[in-house]
Amino acid sequence: MTFSRDFIELSCRKGVLRFGTFVTKAGRVSPYFFNAGLFDDGGSFNDLCGFYAQAILGSGIAFDMLFGPAYKGIPLVAGTAMRLSGKGMNVPFAFNRKEAKDHGEGGMLIGAPLNGRVLVLDDVISAGTSARESVGIIRAHGAELAGLVIALDRMERGQGEVSAVREVEDAYGVPVVPVATLTDLVAYLADTPELEANFAAVQAYRDVYGTHDAIR
């Protein structure tokens, strides 16, 4: 998909995707690192939310509203709702606080009430912790999880032999839609001369930790 490549190009240009030596939460030494928090200006964040909107529209998932888990999901869900509105789809959205507020409107949620089929927006899935917390919040309000949309699927093993993304899909019976995957990243590195030097290291990492069960 063209927008997947455009997303990776933007991520590299902004330094959101960096190459070198990094230790992941799982303790793996990775040759690349993705930090969505570095989409830190209006232009790049507007583009990011546009990519999420394209991924959502292309997925065919039926949903009634969007939910963004604190903290990175908060601006994502607001920005993506705005980009969807610009494409003729006006949907409500909500996000949660990390700590309950005991004054004013109170509670853990801000935005629209959680109703119907809820699509969760987050940056990545690693251990699946954020996904479990989001599902708990959604179900506690009597709503239904419709699926999850993430920026990058690293396509590497989770707790077992399948990917962390597939583990979430199997656990909740819903699709996880990435804006881009490791397959897209490898293809981009292979034909981008200024980044081609990173191709071998990323491919070697994939050979050790990767899984092909999430290829779309």
Look at 25 and 12; give whichever has higher pLDDT: 12
Which of 72, 101, 141, 212 is catalytic? The answer is 101
- Annotated active-site residue in 98, 103, 141, 212: 103
Task: Look over the chain and give the mean of its residue pLDDT values, rounded to a whole number.
Answer: 91
At residue 52, φ and ψ (nearest 5 deg) are -60, -45
Mean pLDDT of 153-181: 90
DSSP assignment string, 91-144: --EEEEEEEEE-STT-EEEEES---SEEEEE-S--SSSHHHHHHHHHHHHTT-E
Integer Cα distance of 97 and 214 in angstroms: 31
Active-site residue flag, 98: no
Residue 214 has a pLDDT of 42
**Per residue in 173-200, pLDDT tens?**
999 999 999 999 999 999 999 999 999 9
- Residues 17, 8: contact at Cβ < 8 Å? yes
pLDDT beyond 60 at 85: yes
DSSP SS3 for 146: strand
Per-residue pLDDT for 24 more than 90? no
pLDDT at residue 171 in the model: 92
The pLDDT of residue 146:
98
Which one is predicted more confidently, 157 or 201? 201
What token pair was written down for 165? Answer: 């993304």
pLDDT at residue 215 tops 50: no
Domains and CATH numbers, the chain: 2-209 (3.40.50.2020)
**pLDDT greater than 70 at residue 20:** yes
* Residues near 66 by beta carbon (within 8 Å), at least 6 away in sequence: 77, 80, 81, 91, 92, 93, 94, 118, 119, 120, 121
Question: Model's pTM, two decimal places?
Answer: 0.92
> Active site includes 101?
yes
**What tokens were used for 167?**
């583990």
